[in-house]
Amino acid sequence: MTETSTITSDIVVVGGGIAGLAMAARLAHRTAFTITVLDSDRAPEMPDETLQLRTTSLNSAALRLLEEAGVMAHLPAHFLTDFDRLEAGSRETPNALSFSAKDINLTRFGVFVENDRLRAALWQTLMSMAQVTLISESRLSSLQRHDDRVDGLLDDGRALNARLIIGADGARSHVRHLAGISSQQRDYAQEAMLINVRLAELPGHTTWQIFTPSGPVALLPLHDRQASLVWYDRPGQIQKRMSMDDDTLRSAILEAFPARLGGIEAILERGRFPIRRLHAQRYTGKRVALVGDAAHVIHPMAGQGINLGLADVLSLTEALEQESDPGTAQALSRYQRRQWPRNAAMLTGVEQLHHLFTLPFAPLRTLAERGLKGADRMAPVKRFMMSLATGQPLNNARGSEDHDAQP
């Protein structure tokens, strides 16, 4: 049915993924602005006990944001698996790079949680916030930006009126497109296969990654002796494994993954995801800001996509919270200046790690592996890895905060 009413809010967040919902929760927690969240998908429902396919790491900064917004009340601790140790290496030197949360006086680096469970918890949190309106199964189709406001149309005929539009609508962001913001993109010609398994032994609290010539393999420990295995490879190879029966896939995993994986009691679920890199040239335009994958997509091997998106949420809220009008050029440029260089540094760092381990010639790879072995004692590498784990910005990025970092 076509509706003709107008939705009026101070801020409209387009996209109710984890970044968009967290954006609304943080704004509602820290400001008095009215907020509408619009998502093209159905409203999320809390999954039953069954392990969901997609899992994400949350670093300590991300966890703090969720705690402060009251989201943890909807996420029982049982579904959060702590990790307190990170290890990376090659087959020959599996824990060449290894560090523990204790090294920086933390009890854990963060947790693993299922994406759908987190999204449902965010949605439930927002349902009880009076200043937030949630609209599902509705898509933004056009935008007109004026000096003092922005008007839009939804595909069901309703009109939008706001002072700021936040694009949190993912890698193919329509808001980014409508605002005329271009982006640098790269396809890695690689996919990630996610395989949920039940292990024979408890997986513990270490997450590890082994680099192989065709791409890394990784383990994310989860609750109830379950784990998410991540297997990066060329699309053809992933397609082959997707069509294997469970027994054949189990044998293939045991051959490719290191012996520390132990036995696999059951294969629970599997899925494949393309890997790409994207960085928007700017995060802001007239009365528009981008957060999350709409602004940047990073190789998932470092587990940073959501964490960077939640760092955007913190940064944009901080830029707006003292303003009476959330869409002024001055407020938006504070966000641009702070967040763009931080994320650019992170994207470059992860890109360099990716290159290091996908070098085409074996002699170069060996050199890279030796470099990794030495890296345990190398302060810059360690600082970068700690920054990934804790969500603290890299020092060199922090140094550029005061400069206008428009590319």
Residues lying near ligand FAD in the complex (CB under 6 A): 14-20, 38-41, 56-57, 139-140, 168-170, 174, 192, 194, 273, 292-293, 300, 303-307, 309
Shortest distance, CB of residue 249 to ligand FAD, whole angstroms? 17
Query: Which amino acid, one-letter code, is at 36?
Result: T
Shortest distance, CB of residue 168 to ligand FAD, whole angstroms? 6
Instruction: Output 220 or 375, the one with its CB closest to ligand FAD.
Output: 220
CB atoms within 10 A of CB 403: 9
Shortest distance, CB of residue 206 to ligand FAD, whole angstroms? 15
Shortest distance, CB of residue 287 to ligand FAD, whole angstroms? 17
Shortest distance, CB of residue 403 to ligand FAD, whole angstroms? 26
Q: Nearest-CA neighbor of 278 among 267, 291, 294, 290?
A: 294
Shortest distance, CB of residue 136 to ligand FAD, whole angstroms? 9
What secondary structure does DSSP assign to 109-140, as a single string? Answer: SEEEEEHHHHHHHHHHHHHT-TTEEEE-S--E
245 burial type by CB count under 10 A (0-12 exposed, 13-18 middle, 19+ buried): exposed
Instruction: Output 34 or 207, the one with its CB closest to ligand FAD.
Output: 207
Instruction: Output 43 or 329, the one with its CB closest to ligand FAD.
Output: 43
Instruction: Output 192 or 369, the one with its CB closest to ligand FAD.
Output: 192
- Helical residues (DSSP H) of 208-328, grouped into ranges: 235-242, 246-256, 305-320
Token reading at 234: 């060329």
What CA–CA distance (Å, rounded) separates 220 from 365?
A: 25
What CA–CA distance (Å, rounded) separates 248 from 241?
A: 9
Helix axes 60-68, 18-30, angle to 10 degrees: 50
Shortest distance, CB of residue 196 to ligand FAD, whole angstroms? 12
Instruction: Output 144 or 366, the one with its CB closest to ligand FAD.
Output: 144
Instruction: Output 261 or 389, the one with its CB closest to ligand FAD.
Output: 389
Instruction: Output 40 or 336, the one with its CB closest to ligand FAD.
Output: 40
90: Cβ–Cβ under 8 A, 6 or more apart, which residues?
96, 210, 211, 212, 369, 372
Instruction: Output 16 or 203, the one with its CB closest to ligand FAD.
Output: 16
Shortest distance, CB of residue 99 to ligand FAD, whole angstroms? 18
Shortest distance, CB of residue 227 to ligand FAD, whole angstroms? 13
What CA–CA distance (Å, rounded) separates 384 from 152?
A: 41
Shortest distance, CB of residue 201 to ligand FAD, whole angstroms? 22
Instruction: Output 174 or 337, the one with its CB closest to ligand FAD.
Output: 174
What CA–CA distance (Å, rounded) separates 405 from 279?
A: 14
Instruction: Output 285 or 292, the one with its CB closest to ligand FAD.
Output: 292
Instruction: Output 219 or 369, the one with its CB closest to ligand FAD.
Output: 219
Shortest distance, CB of residue 21 to ligand FAD, whole angstroms? 8
Give strand pairing partners of 212.
215
